Structure 1
């Protein structure tokens, strides 16, 4: 983990306490300005935050690579000024933002399980539309909201309607077209509070584009 990405985690921590109970609606002009198109194939990537002590899945998010790349992070705690958000959809998901997101969640007590499935451009666009129209999600509904989107997509109709992150991850694991990796980080959880050492404009330069 680079020092600047460590700084990003420290800058994010005060925002966690505020939670995501209210609908976040950043301006459309900012969403359009930050839009990022990734040159990889259209794909859906499920992220499951897994407790390394209990094995339980505690959060789910869905990365959608369509005409632009966004993260559907229902009731998530990841926020950065450079990443506009509307109703739990995070825009401007560049490679550097993606790395910071992974580092934000991967820690001594949590692994990040990444499961990627390539899809057709039409399916990716449909997933993006469904995420954008879903609306903000309440507590404990991150997985079911993703499952409900998946079940409307061709090729994912058999996804389980579940509230449990590990069950949805098991569904992805059972697909023959999945590419999977698990990301860990052995940094102690209580280290993040001492990481503010560089100026905020430096982290902005690191994760901006």
Structure 2
């Protein structure tokens, strides 16, 4: 959700009082281990920023982490599917098909996705993974704050300042040396639930380990 600056103090107060370590709907640690997917590409971080096509304002931030396993830290996110295991706002089982599905579920007639990727050392990727797993469930409207706070703790990302605004984080990320950027536009229905319902779990689990999510502009 996009916040006005006047709303931040109220949001902070509500968020701090309502944030729990884990959601009752979280899967067990054992289930996350069953869903774990190791991608053979280089260690990398991929920042997703969902942007309104009408206003140009950012609406959501999340980050894919390719470390000893590939996950998406989707704080206060809304993508739920049987092909994905979720614990503490970390999504497990991010095969190439699931990564592609995740991107496209957010790109629709009203929003596009800005995708910023940077390769990092294995140590930095693993640190990002641990920070995401340790963060726990994030309160509503804190998606960008949680994502930017995670990035700001990583070596090489000290210039990232925690923020509540997706567009601000996107701009900060664009100034990190080595970041590449692409944008994903699609004309799907504004109802994200339709894209989620259309995704078939069997397609996600039958994956080639050497595959990769869609890389071209669309």
Q: TM-score range by the shorter chain?
A: 0.7 to 0.9
> Who is 2:203 aligned against?
206
Cα distance change, pair 146–184 in 1 and its aligned pair in 2 (3 A): same
> Who is 2:43 aligned against?
42
Q: Is the 8 A contact 2:75 2:146 kept in 1?
A: yes
> Who is 1:141 aligned against?
142
> Who is 1:55 aligned against?
56
Q: CA-to-partner distance for each residue in 1:102-124, whole Å, 9 max, x for gaps? A: 11100011001000011000000
TM-score (norm 2): 0.80
- Counterparts of 1:188 and 1:132 in 2: how far apart (Å)? 32
Cα distance change, pair 151–190 in 1 and its aligned pair in 2 (3 A): closer
Q: CA-to-partner distance for each residue in 1:91-147, whole Å, 9 max, x for gaps? A: 010011111111110001100100001100000000000000011100110011111
TM-score (norm 1): 0.83
Structure 1 unmatched ranges of 5 or more? 1-20
- Counterparts of 2:193 and 2:157 in 1: how far apart (Å)? 38
> 1:12-31 residue pairs with structure 2 within 5 A?
23=23, 24-31=25-32
> 1:165-204 residue pairs with structure 2 within 5 A?
165-189=166-190, 193=194, 203-204=200-201
Q: CA-to-partner distance for each residue in 1:44-64, whole Å, 9 max, x for gaps? A: 110000000000000000100
| Post-superposition offset of 1:160 | 1.6
- Counterparts of 1:91 and 1:191 in 2: how far apart (Å)? 20
- Counterparts of 2:37 and 2:205 in 1: how far apart (Å)? 11
| Post-superposition offset of 1:176 | 2.5
- Counterparts of 1:103 and 1:57 in 2: how far apart (Å)? 16
| Post-superposition offset of 1:190 | 5.4
> Who is 2:216 aligned against?
none
Cα distance change, pair 175–207 in 1 and its aligned pair in 2 (3 A): same
Cα distance change, pair 92–158 in 1 and its aligned pair in 2 (3 A): same
Count of residue pairs the alignment pairs up: 186
| Post-superposition offset of 1:189 | 2.1
SS at match of 1:189: coil
Q: CA-to-partner distance for each residue in 1:146-166, whole Å, 9 max, x for gaps? A: 111111110111102100000
> 1:3-18 residue pairs with structure 2 within 5 A?
none
- Counterparts of 2:110 and 2:82 in 1: how far apart (Å)? 26
- Counterparts of 2:171 and 2:196 in 1: how far apart (Å)? 35
> Who is 1:14 aligned against?
none
* Structure 1 residue ranges, 4+ long, deviating more than 3 angstroms after superposition: 190-196
1:98 aligns with 2:99: yes
Cα distance change, pair 186–160 in 1 and its aligned pair in 2 (3 A): same
